[in-house]
Structure 1
Amino acid sequence: MNILIVDDTKFNLKYAKNILIENKIDCNIILANSGKEALAILDSEEIDIVILDIVMPEIDGIEVLKNIRKNTKYFNIPVIMFTSLTDKQALKKSFEHGATDFINKPIEPIEFISRIKAAIRIKKYEMHLTQTLNTIKNQNEELLALNKKLQETQYYLIQKEKLVAIGQLAAGVAHEINNPIGYVSSNTETLSKYIHKIKTAIDKYKELLHCLNDTNIQSEEIQNKIQELYALRNNLHLDFIMSDIDSLINDSFKGIEKITKIVQSLRNFARHDLETDFNYYNLNDLVEETLLLIKNEARYIVHIEKKLNDLPLIFCNRTQIGQVLLNIMMNAVQAIKSQKREEEGLMEISTFVSENYIVCEISDDGPGIDKNIIDKIFNPFFTTKEVGTGTGLGLSISYDIVVNKHAGELLVNSELGQGTTFTIKLPIKAIS
C-alpha cells in the first residue's frame, strides 16, 4: 500500500509520517512538498492513497485533485484533503472535484489515523472488487471459449451422428435407387431399339416420297413401295411400338422422379449448411421424406401405418426435424429387428394438432424400454444397443433439437414387452 502525503510544510509531512509509523500502518510512505512534485510522483509511481493539502504555492491542492481525477489510472483513488475548520469553501470545492474525505488541521492523531484506516479499507475493498471483476471477466472469457468449443464439439457430434445414420441407410438407399435405375435403364435400352426401327421405317417413307415426286416412276413401282412399307410395319411391330413408347417414357419419368426424391431427401438430411435455416414447412412432408429414406431398412421387418392429418405450416429447421424423425423411426425399426421375430412388427405414425402444438406420435410394438432406464435415454452416449451398433447420441441430439432449438417437447411412453411411443410436440407459430 503506497500512501502519498502532499504538504508544503515539512513539519506537517514529518508529523503525518510519524503518526503512520507509530500506529504501525502497513504502508510505504511517500512525501511531496509541492503540487508539482506530487503530480510527478503520480506519473511515475503506483499510488494507492493521497493525503493532499489544499493551500500550496504554484499548484494548489484543488488543481492537483483535478489532475488526479482526469487520469483514468487514478480516477477512483482515495484522496483525503488537509484543511482547516475555517476553510469551508475550499472544502466544498474539493468534494465537488472528487475528494474522498478530509482531515482537519492542526493534525489530531486519533482523527488522522481513523480517517487513514477508513481510506485503507476503502482502497482494499476497491482492490478486492477490481480483482473479483477481473477474475469474473477471465472466467467469463474462459466460459465463452468453452461454450464455443462445446458448440463446435456438439456440431461435430451431430455431423458424426448423421454420418452414422447415412452409413446405416446407405445400402437401403442404394437399393431403393437401383430399382428405378434398373427399369429406367431397361426402358432406355428398349427405346433405343424402338428408335432404330422407327428410323428404318422413316427411311422407307423417304424412298416412297422420292418416288411420288419423280414423274418418271411408274405407278406399279409406287404400289410396290407401299406394299413394302406395310410389310415393314408388320415386321417391325410399329403399331405396338407407337403404343408402347408413351408408357415407357412415363415409367422412366416416374423412376427418375423417385430417384430425385430419394436423393433430395438424403441431401436435405446430410446438409450441414442449413443448420440455422428456419422456415415454414409441412411436418407431413418431412415424415414422408424420412419414410422414403428408411423404406428399405424397414422392408420385411416393420409394417408402417400412417395417419397424417391436415396440418398448418410449422416454423422449424427442416434438416434438424428430419434428423429427429429419422433417429426415432430408425430406433423403432432396430428395436423390432432385435427381436428376430418371424412376423413383421408394426410402426404407427400419426400427426395432428393439439392446442398450440403440432404433434407427431411414432409408436412401435417392439420390446419396450425398462422403467429403470427410461429416464436415461436422452442422456448423451447412453445406449442399450450392442457395442459398435450405436453412438448413444441419437436421442440426446433429438431432445436438444426439439426442446432447446424449437421450444417444443419430446416425450416417451413405454412398457416392457409392449412397445414404445415417442411424442414430438412443436409449437405453432403464426406466419407473419
Structure 2
Amino acid sequence: MTTDALTDRPDAEHAAALWPAPQAPGPLDATVEVPGSKSLMNRYLVLAALADSPSRLRGALRSRDTLLMAAALRALGIGVEDAPGTTSDWVVTPGSLSGGSDVDCGLAGTVMRFLPAVAALAEGPVRFDGDPHARVRPMGPVLRALRALEVPVDEHGEPGHLPFTVTGRGRVRGGHVDVDASGSSQFVSGLLLAAARFEQGLTLRHTGPTLPSLPHIEMTVDVLRAAGVTVDDSRPTIWRVEPGTIAGRDVRVEPDLSNAAPFLCAAMIAGGTVRVPGWPAQTTQPGGLLPGILERMGATTRLDGDVLAVTGTGRIHGLDLDLHAAGELTPTIAALAALADSPTRIRGVAHLRGHETDRLAALSTEITRLGGQAEQTSDGLVITPRPLTGGTVRTYADHRMATAGALLGLAVPGVRVEDVATTAKTIPDFVGLWSGMLG
C-alpha cells in the first residue's frame, strides 16, 4: 500500500470520535499493571485446544484478539470458559475438532495464521474471514503449505488472502514442507503449533531471503517444549516437530512487554519514572529487548525484583537501530524518534508492510502530517526530528498506531487520535491505563 493510498483512505468503517491525546502534566511517577501477552496467550490457547487434558490459563488476557481466538476454538468444538470462582483465569477443555463452522479472524494475525492448521485436523469445512483490513494481509504461505500437506483449501477472493475455506479430514499426514516466511514469522508458528498432532509430525524449512521476528518463533518452540512436545531447532531455519501428545498445563501469562513499551517510553518524553511489575527475568517476548534500546536513547532502566523502572529526563537521542527481531516495537520507537534530538534510522522491518496496516507507510504519513520528517526506506524508516504541531493521527485500525499517537500527544498540544478503541485489540482499557499513568 502506498503512502498516497493511506492518506486518501477514509477508514469509514472505523470512524469514531477523535480522542484528544493528553499532554503530560509534568514528570511522571507511576506504576502501570500491563495486561498479559497476546502472543503468549493465543499460543497457549491453541496448544490447550490440542492437548490431552484440560489446561488453566491464569491471568488470561481478555482483548479482542484473544476473545476472537477463544470464540474460534469454541466454534471448532473446544471448551473455553471462566475458571470457577474467578474471572481472571480460563479453563480450556479439549474435544473432538468439528468443522461446519465459520471463524471470524477480526484483524488478528494469530487467528488467521494459527488456526488453519488446526482446522485441517477437524472433520469438515471451516471458513475463515475477518475485518476488511484483514483481507489485505498475506496468507499465501500458510495456504500453500497446507495444500502441500494434502489439505484441501478453497480461496474465495484474491488468492493468498482471506476469505478461504479449509476442509479438514480429521487427520493430517504431515511430513516435510517448505515455507517462505519472509512476510511473517507467524507462517512458521502456525504450522509448528499443530504439528505434533500430524501423523508424521512435521519438518518445516524456511526458504525465503529473510526471517523476521525470530523471537516469536523461539517463543513458539518454547511453549511447545513446555507442553512436552519434542522440537529440534538445531539447524538454522529448519524445525522438526515429532508426532506425539500435547500436555495440558496450568500456566500464568506474562505481561505483554510490547504493550508495556508506550507506558515506559512515556517517562522518556515527560521525564520522571514509570514502573511495570511482573517483568520476567528471562523471556522469549521480543519486547524483552526494550530496556536496552531505551538506554541507548537516553533512559535509565532498573529491574528491581520483577519490577522494571524506566526513568527519563525529557531528552531523547536518535540512533541507528535494527529492529528485525522486534518489529512490533517500531511504532513506539518511531514516536520517540520524532521527538529526539538527532535523526533515527530503523532497519530490518520491511515485513511491517504486511501487518494490521502497512506500518511503514502509516508512520511516515502520520509523522509528516504533524510536521515531522519520516522517510521510508526499503526496509524501514529514517526519521529526522522537526517541530511538531497538533493534528489528527489516523490509526488505520492498527492498535500500535494509536499508542504511537498517544505518545506524541504527551509532548505536542492538540494531537487527536482517530479510533483509539482499536487498542482493545491487545489492551482492553488503554485509555484508562494511560489516564491513570498521568494522574
User: TM range, normalised to the smaller chain?
Assistant: under 0.3
If asked which structure has higher relative contact order (CA below 8 Å, sep 6+), I would say 2
Using structure 1 for the length normalisation, give the TM-score.
0.20
Which structure would you say has the larger Rg? 1
TM-score by length of 2: 0.20
Greater strand proportion: 2
Higher helix share: 1
